[in-house]
Structure 1
Amino acid sequence: MPKQIDGISEAIKINGKQSVTRQASVNNDLGALADGWAIDTTVPLDLKKSADKDYHPVLKAFLAGSFSGTFSTILFQPLDLVKTRLQNPSQHVVAATLNGRIQPGMITIFANIIRQEQIAGLWRGMVPSIARCVPGVGLYFSSLHWLKAKLGKTRSQDLGALEAVTLGVVARTMSGVALIPITVIKTRYESGVYKYNSLGGALKAIYKAEGLRGLSCGLGPTLARDAPFSGLYLMFYTQAKQSVPKEWKQSPSAASVVHFSCGILAGIAASLATNPADVLKTKMQLYPDKFPNAFSAALYVQQTYGIRGYFKGAVPRMLRRTLMAAMAWTVFEEITRSIGLK
């Protein structure tokens, strides 16, 4: 009897263990089904975390930069249009004259555009502007992030004045060279001199009439404008941020105001310093046959307008570049903080 009892007890134990094992298996299976996965399927990693880690920091910087550039490009396009018209005042502009020369003002240009082309005319050249500025800003920020990583710098505050200038110049040069054909089309769209029906049509027309030289005309002045602008802007921006108390930058309510204010100050200084190159760029891209190089354009501006000619369109350009850059940097700073780049 004792042996039989022991045997029964062992059987009960074995059956109990099997029952528990089966119950655990059933629970696991039910849990798997409840989670939406098939039975005996290994639950994958957290998709959100995995996807977030899979994106390269340079790609994140590109997307953040492109996003920040979109709204500022659309918002400030009228200022860019007026700037181009001010630098090319021969297009039926009704304005006061000074010493026998047409001297249109910013308000006059606005009034003429609205009268002749309606309100929508202020956004003429929007397609090439977006095609240039949105990827251009993205390329700039991603190049800047990549260059900072190569130098072992994780934040803009870590950059010295000379480093900021150098990185800004190199990053803008990279994006400027890549997008020079769109820059040419954008300038011609805004001038009112050329009548292109589409971005693709403009590319074909310029290439057919002028070849690759036409698609890259004004590259020198463009880089002489954009590269120093970006270098000086980044230097002024980082130095201004370094002078602000840390608690202000760490405060959620004050951080955006600090970034925007630093951007405004940096934009004013950088815009004024690079406006002469912008004037030469406009002349060369509108009249490539008349101005085959920067020297011929500079000679014409000097003889026709004097020193003041190099600052034509400075006010709308300063407003646009300052506000656009400040907004782009503010949005970029907030996006990069939210996606973990800072």
Structure 2
Amino acid sequence: MGERKRHLVAGFSGGLASAVALQPLDLIKTRVQSGEKGVIGVLRGMESWTELWRGTVPSAIRTSLGSAMYLTTLHVMRSTMTISKQTSLHGSSKLPKLSALENLGSGMLARGIVGFITMPITIIKVRFESNMYHYSSIAEATQIIWKHEGLKGFFRGVGATCLRDAPYAGLYVSFYEQLKISLPKLLNWEGEFDVKGSALINSSSAIVASILATSITAPFDKIKTNMQLKPEKYFSFMNTLKLLVSEDWKRLFDGVGLRLLRKAGSAGIAWCIYEELVKL
């Protein structure tokens, strides 16, 4: 299997696994951010526990394809940027080694590009998860959005999404790569690791990096969700920011706990699978 194809398959597999496993957290977060009162209120309002997986199909499409494109694009960028282009196994990872600034820049650029490309399916995913829209299929959602909102309907909140995802990805990659170096030193582990050892280091690094990056970018996630679910009221980034701050600035952090759990879990699953598969 070619190198780029291996990264595509590894990214797709990790993204798909994390999307299906963690869809309930994503759905609850979306509903909390849309105005429903708390996790308990969301759960009580459900007719069946299977409703927790509503929106799994668009979520799985977005996350699997998005992860495949993002991680492959990121790898190509980082391989191009690194002087030696060395990808031989070192410690727990087989990825190119770059400076913190290079990791930050490559992560932001790759995520920004892929985030824009996957924006239409992101809109459909968020609306499927909420209680405000009742689409029966992706095809129906596409037709309704196109009919009532036109092309721009598929790109609601694209600015807020980029302001959330690009910095998140840049910070995440930078933190993640540094943690993969620091954790083995803290544990006094040296040399190459077996599968269990590298999986532990990579998953732990991914979880901690995700928590840090998610905490910093949380307000943009709230703004993005409101713009996508209530475009009549929240029609621009600055308008949404002003309204949320005037109502209660703490609303900018609605659902942050759920997003932390979801992002940490997703990073731990997706990046561990990705790192191990690219070694094959």
Q: Normalising by the residue count of structure 1, what TM-score does the alignment of the two structures yield?
A: 0.75
Unpaired runs of 5+ residues, structure 1, are 1-51, 91-103
Given the alignment of the two structures, is residue 162 of structure 1 paired with residue 101 of structure 2, yes or no? Answer: yes
Match of 1:86?
32
Alignment partner of 2:229 out of 262, 286, 301: 286
Match of 2:181?
242
Alignment deviations for residues 81-100 of structure 1 (CA, whole Å, 9 cap, x no partner): 1111111125xxxxxxxxxx
Alignment deviations for residues 136-195 of structure 1 (CA, whole Å, 9 cap, x no partner): 000111101111121134354611111111111111111101110011111111111011
> What is the alpha-carbon distance in structure 2 between the residues aligned to residue 248 and residue 219 of structure 1?
43
Letter in 2 for 1:272: S
CA positional deviation for 1:106: 2.2
Alignment partner of 2:43 out of 107, 110, 135: 110
Q: Secondary structure at the match of 1:195?
A: coil
> What is the alpha-carbon distance in structure 2 between the residues aligned to residue 325 and residue 252 of structure 1?
18
Match of 1:295?
238
Given the alignment of the two structures, is residue 171 of structure 1 paired with residue 113 of structure 2, yes or no? Answer: no
Q: Is the CA contact 1:58–1:143 (under 8 Å) kept in the aligned structure 2?
A: no
Q: Secondary structure at the match of 2:205?
A: helix
> What is the alpha-carbon distance in structure 1 between the residues aligned to residue 15 and residue 239 of structure 2?
33
> What is the alpha-carbon distance in structure 2 between the residues aligned to residue 82 and residue 252 of structure 1?
34
Residue identity (%): 36
Letter in 1 for 2:58: P
Match of 1:125?
55
Q: Secondary structure at the match of 1:208?
A: helix
Cα distance change on mapping 1:277 and 1:248 into 2, 3 Å: farther
Q: Is the CA contact 2:77–2:106 (under 8 Å) kept in the aligned structure 1?
A: yes
Given the alignment of the two structures, is residue 331 of structure 1 paired with residue 273 of structure 2, yes or no? Answer: yes
Q: Secondary structure at the match of 1:330?
A: helix
CA positional deviation for 1:249: 5.3
Given the alignment of the two structures, is residue 223 of structure 1 paired with residue 169 of structure 2, yes or no? Answer: no
Cα distance change on mapping 1:270 and 1:186 into 2, 3 Å: same
Alignment deviations for residues 78-123 of structure 1 (CA, whole Å, 9 cap, x no partner): 0001111111125xxxxxxxxxxxxx2223322332xxx2011001
Q: Is the CA contact 1:74–1:130 (under 8 Å) kept in the aligned structure 2?
A: yes
> What is the alpha-carbon distance in structure 1 between the residues aligned to residue 241 and residue 267 of structure 2?
27
CA positional deviation for 1:248: 6.6
Cα distance change on mapping 1:202 and 1:249 into 2, 3 Å: farther
> What is the alpha-carbon distance in structure 1 between the residues aligned to residue 153 and residue 195 of structure 2?
48
Q: Normalising by the residue count of structure 2, what TM-score does the alignment of the two structures yield?
A: 0.91
Match of 1:314?
256
Q: Secondary structure at the match of 2:252?
A: helix
CA positional deviation for 1:264: 1.0
> What is the alpha-carbon distance in structure 2 between the residues aligned to residue 157 and residue 242 of structure 1?
13
Given the alignment of the two structures, is residue 140 of structure 1 paired with residue 70 of structure 2, yes or no? Answer: yes
Given the alignment of the two structures, is residue 59 of structure 1 paired with residue 5 of structure 2, yes or no? Answer: yes
In angstroms, what is the RMSD of aligned CA positions? 1.5
CA positional deviation for 1:253: 2.7
> What is the alpha-carbon distance in structure 1 between the residues aligned to residue 135 and residue 39 of structure 2?
25
Unpaired runs of 5+ residues, structure 2, are 88-93
Q: Is the CA contact 2:8–2:68 (under 8 Å) kept in the aligned structure 1?
A: yes
Letter in 2 for 1:121: E
> What is the alpha-carbon distance in structure 1 between the residues aligned to residue 265 and residue 42 of structure 2?
20
Letter in 1 for 2:276: E
- In the TM superposition, structure 1's runs of 4+ consecutive aligned residues that sit over 6 Å from their partners are none
CA positional deviation for 1:328: 0.6
Cα distance change on mapping 1:176 and 1:200 into 2, 3 Å: same
> What is the alpha-carbon distance in structure 1 between the residues aligned to residue 258 and residue 191 of structure 2?
31
Moved more, 191-200 or 246-255: 246-255
Letter in 1 for 2:75: H
Q: Is the CA contact 1:157–1:241 (under 8 Å) kept in the aligned structure 2?
A: no
Letter in 2 for 1:221: A
Alignment deviations for residues 273-302 of structure 1 (CA, whole Å, 9 cap, x no partner): 111000000111011122221011111111
